[in-house]
Each structure stands twice: as structure tokens, then as C-alpha cells.
A and B are shown apart, each in its own frame.
Chain A
Amino acid sequence: MPGLDALPFPLPTVQQIIFVLIAGMTVTGALITALAPNLFHNALGLVLAFFGVAGVYVLLEAEFLAISQVLVYVGAIATLITFAIMLTRGMMFGRTSSTNRLMLSAAIISVLFFLVMTGLLVSVAWPEAGAELASSEQMIADLGELFVTTYLIPFELMALLLLAALAGAILLARD
């Protein structure tokens, strides 16, 4: 539209606005997970963070990964974590503090880490825009092909790992 070219800063594109919204949701979820005193609120914040990360994958045009993220993380891991919270009743005995004696040093380390990383990241000249992607349907087929050709051994090892985790978890959690 004419008239807006005279602004001193460039207008954000629609993609950038959507990214800021989804990133805001993810960061809110992550901060609730880290900082809220109520354990169940932590679990809800974690679910929000998982959905936000799935949104980031959709923005990065990795659809299959986004749906797998929701399926595995929200559908299974968040449910597991909430079950464990309910079964251990860690939040029901008194209103003790939710942080341990390492809180101050952990906070300093986390903030320092974030500042160092951000300082490093904004100082590098990354490529501006990615290349154009092929059709997503072909990408799913290519993913499947990769799993059974180049990454066959990690795939089979993953199956073995999941089987071992399954057996181990059942054994550990039995009476």
C-alpha cells in the first residue's frame, strides 16, 4: 500500500507475525514449566510448549514431524508425566518451596547461557531464506525411504531401544 514505504523500519511479513505468536506461546509454556510452583501447572505448561514446538515445525514446513511431535509428545509423554504426577502425589504434602538450594546458581547459569548463546547467534551472518521445497507428499515418501535405506541400522536399534525401555519400565513399575 502507498504511504507505508516511508516508514523508517520494514513492516513485518505475515510469516514473521505468525512466528512471533507461536514463539510467544512456546516461551510462555516453557516459562510456566520452569517457574510455576504448582506441579500440575508445570505439566500444563509443558503441553503448551509441545504444541508451540509443533507450530514451529509447521512454520519450517516439516508437517510430518509436527504431527509426530503432537502424537508422541502430547499424546504419550505428557500423559505419562501427568500419570506420574498423580501417582506420586508430590504436590499434596504441604506447601513447601518448589525450588531446591541450588536455585540461585541455576538461575544465574541459565540466564548467562541464554545471553551468551543469543550474543553468539545474532552476530553470525546466517543465510536469509531457505531454498524452495519439493511437494510435501514426496517428502513423506522420501522420509520413509531414508528410514529403510540410509538409516536402517539406527531404525532397528531404535526399535530395540523402545522394546528395552518398554520391558524395563514395566519391570520397574511393578509392585
Chain B
Amino acid sequence: MQHWSTTLTNFFTGLGLPEAAALAIAFIIGATALAIFAPTLALGLIWITRKIVSRIQDRIGPNRVGPFGLLQTVADAAKLLSKEDISPTEADRVAYNLAPIISVFGVIMSTTVIAFAPGIIGADLHVGVLFLVALGSLGILSALMAGWSSNNKYALLAGFRVIAQLLSYEIPMVLAMLGPVLLVGSMRLQALSEFQSLEIAGFNIGLGWTAFVMPAVFLIYFISALAEGEQTPFDLLEAESELIAGFHIEYSGMKFAMFFLAQFLNSFFLGAIAVMLFLGGWQGPFVDQLPILGVVYFLGKSMLVYAVIQWIKGTYPRVRIDQMMAFAWKVLVPMVLGLILWQMMALKLPAPTWVQYAAILIGNLGAIAWIVVILNRHFLNEEVRTKRAFEPASLIGTMQPAPPSGD
């Protein structure tokens, strides 16, 4: 399908405008649409989060403001807007005010390379996947600036922790992103989505997902995306009972709202990247005949992934910082390196394509089975250690006599 900018430009030149002006207007319309899409999406995301987490916690969640509480986020935004903008006296002016802006900037920039439908993508960069990785470094920079410029020991320490977490999990995430890129042979996100089609009797049902060939790599990417987006079980930043509020202790009002917005959008877009790389992107039945259906499929799949992330958020407890770092460096990085090496060797086998894919699948399933075996052994050990397995089936005969009364 034609790129949307070509269609719009032709429309404007048909109206009589010169070529350069038509191009500029088309791209300005596209950029404005994306810039409006992201915060509006955030409103819906916050509502979804609160509803899902509250239902898991056996309560109703917001249901007063608007039907089903849909306008609750608008009310929250209005409250945050009306708050007094307090800044610490000794805070570094430039960095303190710039940090939330850079945080949101990095996240909204990632909407430009997301492939919504066969022709609808902001800019089909040849290095699209790498661009998404580079935008993660903007988030790290903003956390650094916020932690340092708040002139607060606790903000600085929390900033260090968050940066350690983000940097450590960026490595398995990037290596896991390398999996589908190696399979498809291109870093263009449209090429990745177009690759994941499945033709049955000449009809594309769009189920040729990369996750079916490399489930372990998808799992590793998903876990790293949870950590990069600071979602449970890696949400030390949001742990309000531990180290207060992390690196945005000293932020109030609209600046805090920007960090909040950036965090929600970040986790959604990491899920959207997972959909694009592993779950077929905009592929689905009838996408060839009606390309606009791609938007529906893509947003639907991304919302599903986001709902799963919120499901995990309501279910699992938090991990400690040292457990988190150990998990990243000692488990995820070797595993993903081994998986990528196996995949590279499998892709060079002098055999037909389906044999290569089967070899990759066997490698991934082997990695998952190995982890399951180790986990099983670990749980058995823990059970033996805490002596629960040796508790008697009934407590009769083990009760101690009551202490003599009156003493």
C-alpha cells in the first residue's frame, strides 16, 4: 500500500499547492496526529490499569466520574494541573525543568516508527529497531537528570537504582530484539510486520508470528520490557513505601504528571514493539483487501499485551534490587546470548527454511525446558529447606499441653 504521506501530498497538489508545501503540510498533519494520539491513548491506558488492578484486588475501581469511571483520568489530570508548582530552592534550574520534558519526548518519539497498518507508519526508517533502542537511552538520561538536580540524597540514590535497572535490562532486551531481525533480515519495522504473514490456500490469515518460532526469545523480551517499563515485578521506582517515590520525589503537579504519562506510555509502547516484533504487528485476516483493518489488529493486540502486563502487576510481588540485578546479568544475558548464537547457527544450515525454523524452535523449547527443570529443583530445595514437606499430615498428637494457669 502507498505510504500515507504520498496520498496526502497528491491530495494537496491536486488542490494546486506547490510540491514542497504539500509535502510539508502532509507531514505536519501526520506529526500532529501522532502527537495527539499518544496522550489521548494514555488517558485510556490509565483507566484500563486501574480497572484491571482493582478487579484483581477484588474491588470495583473508579466508577463515579463518568460512565464506568472513564473520565476519572481527566479529573486526575485537572487536579494535577491545579497543584502548586513547588521546586526545591537549591535545585539545578535547567536540569530540574528539563527532565520531565525529555522523558515524555523520548516516549512520544517512539510513536514515529510504529507500524500501525501496511501504509500507515510515521517514518519507515531502515534502522527502525535500532531507533527504538536508542530512545531508551533518553529515558535513562531523564532519570539521571531528575535524580541529580533534585538536590536530595534519596532522589539521587533512587535515581542510581533506576538507572542500574534500566541499563541492565536494556542488554537482554536489545539482544532479544535481534532474534526477529536476524530471521527477517531487515531492521525496518514494516518489513518485520510484512514477514509475519501465513498463506493458507492463497489466503493470508496473518498467523505467521515470530513468537511461534522463538517463544523463549519472546519471553525474554517480555520480561526485559517489564523491567524497562518499570512494571511489577520490577517496579522499585513506584514502590511508594520504599524510598518514598524514587527519583521524582521532588516533583509535584504537572511535572510529576509528565513522568507518570511517560511511564504509562513507555510500557504500552514496549508492548506495542513486542507485538510488532513477535506477535505479527498489523497482520490478521483480510488485511490485504482492507489495509485499514491493520490498525484494528495492531491496537487490539497491543491492548491485549498491555492488559497482560497489568494482570501481572496485580498478581506478583516485587523483587529486591539485588535479586533483580542478579536475574538480569546471571540468567537473562547468558540465556539470550545462547539463544541468539543457536539461532545464527540454525539460520546458516544448508537445509530448507522450515528445517531452520524447526531447529530454532527446538532450541527455544530446550532453553525453556532447562529453565523449568532448574526452577523445579530450586523449589524442591526450598521446600526441603523450610521443612514444609516434612510437616505431619495431622496435628493430633503433636500439640503441646497447655501451660499451667495461675502462675
Residue of B whose beta carbon sits closest to that of A65:
B127
Q: A75–B127 contact, CB under 8 A?
A: no
Closest 5 CB pairs of A and B: A75-B137, A70-B134, A136-B126, A67-B130, A71-B134
A71-B133 contact, Cβ under 8 Å, with A79-B163, A140-B187: yes
| Binary contact readout A17-51 vs B (1 if CB under 8 angstroms, 0 otherwise) | 00000000000000000000010110010010000
Q: A64–B141 contact, CB under 8 A?
A: no
Task: Say yes or no: is B333 at the interface (Cβ < 8 Å to chain A).
Answer: no
Task: Say yes or no: is B138 at the interface (Cβ < 8 Å to chain A).
Answer: yes
Residue of A whose beta carbon sits closest to that of B133:
A71
Q: B126–A40 contact, CB under 8 A?
A: no
Q: A104 CB to closest chain B CB, in angstroms?
A: 28
* Total interface residues in chain A, CB < 8 Å: 23
Residue of A whose beta carbon sits closest to that of B132:
A67
Q: B135 CB to closest chain A CB, in angstroms?
A: 8
Q: A40–B131 contact, CB under 8 A?
A: no
Q: Contacts A14-B20, A40-B149, A75-B137 given; 20 further ones with Cβ under 8 A?
A: A40-B92, A44-B145, A63-B125, A63-B127, A67-B127, A67-B131, A71-B130, A71-B134, A74-B134, A74-B138, A74-B141, A75-B140, A76-B137, A78-B141, A79-B137, A79-B140, A79-B141, A79-B163, A82-B148, A140-B127
Chain A residues, CB < 8 A from B134: 67, 70-71, 74-75
Task: Say yes or no: is B80 at the interface (Cβ < 8 Å to chain A).
Answer: no
Size band of the interface chain B makes with A: 20 to 34
The chain A residues found within 8 Å of chain B, CB to CB, are 14, 38, 40-41, 44, 47, 63-64, 67-68, 70-71, 74-76, 78-79, 82-83, 86, 136-137, 140
Task: Say yes or no: is B186 at the interface (Cβ < 8 Å to chain A).
Answer: yes
* Consensus secondary structure, chain A interface: helix
Q: B140–A86 contact, CB under 8 A?
A: no
Q: B148–A64 contact, CB under 8 A?
A: no
The chain B residues found within 8 Å of chain A, CB to CB, are 20, 92, 94-95, 98, 125-127, 130-131, 133-134, 136-138, 140-141, 144-145, 148-149, 156, 163, 167, 170, 186-188
Q: B137–A82 contact, CB under 8 A?
A: no
Q: A79–B127 contact, CB under 8 A?
A: no
Residue of B whose beta carbon sits closest to that of A139:
B126
Q: A36 CB to closest chain B CB, in angstroms?
A: 10
Q: A64–B95 contact, CB under 8 A?
A: no
Q: B187–A71 contact, CB under 8 A?
A: no
Q: A127 CB to closest chain B CB, in angstroms?
A: 26
Chain A residues, CB < 8 A from B144: 79, 82-83
Q: A60 CB to closest chain B CB, in angstroms?
A: 15
A64 to B187, CA, bound (A): 11
A68 to B133, CA, bound (A): 10
Q: B156–A86 contact, CB under 8 A?
A: yes
Q: A63–B138 contact, CB under 8 A?
A: no
Q: B95–A40 contact, CB under 8 A?
A: yes
A140 to B187, CA, bound (A): 9
Chain B residues, CB < 8 A from A44: 94-95, 98, 145
Chain B residues, CB < 8 A from A83: 144, 163
